[in-house]
Amino acid sequence: MTAAAPTEPTFGEVALRAREAAHQLAQATRASKDAALHAMADALVVATDAVLTANAADVEAAVAGGTPGALVDRLRLDADRVAAMADGLRQVAGLPDPVGEVVRGSTLANGLELRQVRVPFGVVGIIYEARPNVTADAAGICLKSGNAVLLRGSSSARRSNAAVVDLLRSGAAAAGLPADAVQLVPGEGHEAAKELMRARGLVDVLVPRGGAGLIRSVVEESTVPVIETGVGNCHVYVDAAADLDRATAIVLNAKTHRPSVCNAAESLLVHADLAETWLPRVVAALQDAGVTVHGDPTVAALAGVVPATDDDWGREYLSLDIAAAVVPDLDAAVRHIRTWSTGHTEAIVTGSQDAARRFVAQVDAAVVVVNASTRFTDGGEFGFGAEIGISTQKLHARGPMGLPEMTSTTYVVTGDGQVR
């Protein structure tokens, strides 16, 4: 007699397991968490072929279904990307443990000792699209910060995510931590995601990571507190005082290094003093790199590019496209950015300290960059290790969300018999 196939657990069962795992993780030492992260990394490396086989099936299905190239690029894994996922886990292991860190403390006049101490959230839900490397990144940061994680990836990466999570769970268990610290949300489609969004009391915080539609849906539908990550309509403004060789290199890197990610530049603003001299040069360089430039009337007249429409100024292309405009001065550049920015990353290239100071003071974004590429907005590049996402909100966490941003705090009050 054939044994019945195991029944998939319900969301409630998975969430309760996560809560129990979170209780255990909250008491785990740094040494045990770091050992688990290294074991998880080793498991990924040893089973790279299994991960790539699962990923190949996802990619094949995505291509057959007509998925845009930028999204297929986000989905696709190779041996180097799997190795990078493992390296990310090891890097997180090498970072300081935020749990137990004293944010501030004092002794009150009545003799009470007051300390504000970092503690884990508990159970963190992550809803994300396409990129299976997020599975390892999110699991690693959540585990190191003492949180259990419930992962809800897109159906396009279902096989890849399942293979990665199986390996992460085995690594955690091998190091003596609960496997249920890392779990996939059961089921497919929007209903499965909705269960996670409505699990207030079981899930402590929810982080959406993906396109504008996904983020808006989670923010509007969730009853679980949400840390909002944002899309990246990132601008590079090239000021009249810019070093033009430096500016060309920065614009090319910001647009072409990896166009399918949120910190790639989507808009170029050029000071009018550079319109006739440098603008044709940078447009030619972009076109030589395969970029389609969508220009305002001035750019179109000078450089012979595709005329931009109103839709171009607010777009996150995630492709080899860029919107370009000529502005009369820095104030006009700031007004344009204020109108169209998503609050992710904005950059200025200038040799003027005054212009840099004014830009930094006036631009409202999670990250403002002076004389460097927007591509540096990244947890790893900032030295935080792998990140959960780039928060564009203003409460609790803003910018790359590393380990400290995945904690809350508790006030610990220690007395010697004081009463009020």
What percentage of the chain has pLDDT greater than the value 70?
98
SS3 content of the chain, % helix, strand, coil (to 5): 45, 20, 35
Q: Where are the domains of the chain?
A: 11-229+388-414, 234-376
Tokens of 311: 């839709």
* Residue 111: Cβ within 10 Å count: 11
pLDDT reading at 211 higher than 90: no
Residues ≥6 apart with Cβ < 8 Å to 100 = 117, 118
Amino acid identity at 108? L
- Give the pLDDT confidence of 138-153 residue by residue, as tens digits: 999 999 999 999 999 9
Check if the beta carbon of residue 38 is closer than 8 Å to that of residue 173.
no
**Measured distance CA(240)–CA(166) in Å, rounded:** 54
Rounded CA Rg of the chain: 24
Residues ≥6 apart with Cβ < 8 Å to 63 = 72
Residues ≥6 apart with Cβ < 8 Å to 58 = 75, 132, 156, 157, 158, 159, 160
CA proximity to 345, closest of 356, 333, 360, 331? 360
pLDDT confidence tier of residue 220, bands split at 50, 70 and 90: very high
CA proximity to 373, closest of 275, 258, 283, 227? 258
Q: What is the largest CA-CA distance in the chain?
A: 82
CATH superfamily of 234-376: Aldehyde Dehydrogenase; Chain A, domain 2 (3.40.309.10)
* Residue 112: Cβ within 10 Å count: 14
Q: In the predicted model, what is the mean pLDDT of the chain?
A: 94
Q: Same topology for domains 11-229+388-414 and 234-376, yes or no?
A: no
* Residue 314: Cβ within 10 Å count: 16
pLDDT reading at 180 higher than 60: yes
- Give the pLDDT confidence of 60-85 residue by residue, as tens digits: 999 999 988 878 888 999 999 999 99
Check if the beta carbon of residue 270 is closer than 8 Å to that of residue 261.
no
The CATH number of the structural domain formed by 11-229+388-414 is: 3.40.605.10
Q: Which three-class secondary structure state does DSSP give residue 376?
A: helix
Question: What DSSP character marks residue 10?
Answer: P
Residues 97-112 have a mean pLDDT of 97
pLDDT reading at 130 higher than 80: no
Residues ≥6 apart with Cβ < 8 Å to 69 = 319
Q: Is 60 left (phi over 0), alpha (psi -120 to 50) or beta?
A: alpha
Tokens of 267: 């808009």
Alpha helices in 145-211 (DSSP H): 158-174, 189-197
Lowest mean pLDDT: which of 112-116, 129-133, 279-283, 354-358? Answer: 129-133
* Predicted pLDDT of residue 5: 53
Residues ≥6 apart with Cβ < 8 Å to 219 = 208, 226, 228
pLDDT reading at 6 higher than 90: no
* Predicted pLDDT of residue 4: 53
**CA 37 → CA 60, 127, 168, 200, 352, distances in Å?**
31, 22, 8, 28, 45
pLDDT confidence tier of residue 371, bands split at 50, 70 and 90: very high
- Give the pLDDT confidence of 231-272 residue by residue, as tens digits: 899 999 999 999 999 999 999 999 999 998 899 999 999 999
- Give the pLDDT confidence of 90-103 residue by residue, as tens digits: 999 999 999 999 99
Amino acid identity at 217? S
